[in-house]
Amino acid sequence: MVKKFTQPPAPKAPTLPADLASDLAAYDASEPAAAAATAAPAEATEESTGTGADAYLAFLEADLPKPVAHHH
């Protein structure tokens, strides 16, 4: 016995809300502790250790150490 094939409905693309900014603001307001906790440590560690884009670019632009000539 063979079942009759019925094609599933085509998927629909999700739609964005009419006012995305207010929805995002409402989400941020509902989770203020999570947003503050993820933003604060990243800034503190970057400033305290001196790492970041400027430090990395300075490292890349620095001259390479000169090779040491070994005498045998």
Each residue's pLDDT, cut to its tens digit, for the chain (72 residues) gives: 788 999 999 999 888 778 888 888 888 888 766 555 555 554 454 455 567 888 888 888 888 878 887 766
CA–CA separation, 29 and 36 (whole Å): 11
How wide is the angle at C-alpha 24 spanned by C-alphas 20 and 30, nearest 5°? 145
Q: What pLDDT does residue 7 have?
A: 92
Give pLDDT, residue 9.
93
The two three-digit tokens of residue 31, written as one number: 């989770």
